[in-house]
Amino acid sequence: MWLGDKIPTSFLRLRDRWLEWCRKNFSSSLLLAVTMDPRDRGVAFEMQKGGERQTFHVAWLGRNCYFACFDHATNKWFTSWKGSFEGVAGFEIFDEIGRKSFNDVAPPAPLTPIEDLLKEEDVHARKGAVPKQKLKSLRTKISRIKEDLARIAQWEDFQNWLSSLDPMSLEPLEKIQHGDLSYKFPKGLSTWQKRDWAFGQIKRLRSVESLQQGRLRESEQLLSEMEAGKEITENPLRPQGPVWKNVSPSQPTISTSDGDYSVHALEGFKVGVGASAQGNDQMRKLWAKSEDWWLHASAGPSAHAIIKLPQEGIPTPAQLTMAARLLAKRSRISATQLEIITTQVKNVRGVTGKPGMVTYKKPKILLCDLSDGVTE
- Give the pLDDT confidence of 309-320 residue by residue, as tens digits: 988 888 988 899
Question: What is the percentage of the chain residues whose pLDDT exceeds 90?
Answer: 23
Bigger pLDDT: 66 or 234?
A: 66
Separation of alpha carbons 215 and 143, rounded Å: 12
Domain boundaries, the chain: 10-110, 131-227, 254-375
| Per-residue pLDDT at 375 exceeds 80 | no
- Amino acid 317 reads P
User: What pLDDT shows up at residue 373?
Assistant: 43
Question: What is the percentage of the chain residues whose pLDDT exceeds 70?
Answer: 89
Separation of alpha carbons 73 and 63, rounded Å: 33
Bigger pLDDT: 131 or 62?
A: 62
| Per-residue pLDDT at 163 exceeds 60 | yes
User: What pLDDT shows up at residue 251?
Assistant: 43
Architecture of domain 131-227: Orthogonal Bundle (1.10)
Alpha-carbon Rg for the chain in angstroms = 28
| Per-residue pLDDT at 291 exceeds 80 | yes
User: What pLDDT shows up at residue 105?
Assistant: 63
| Per-residue pLDDT at 255 exceeds 60 | no
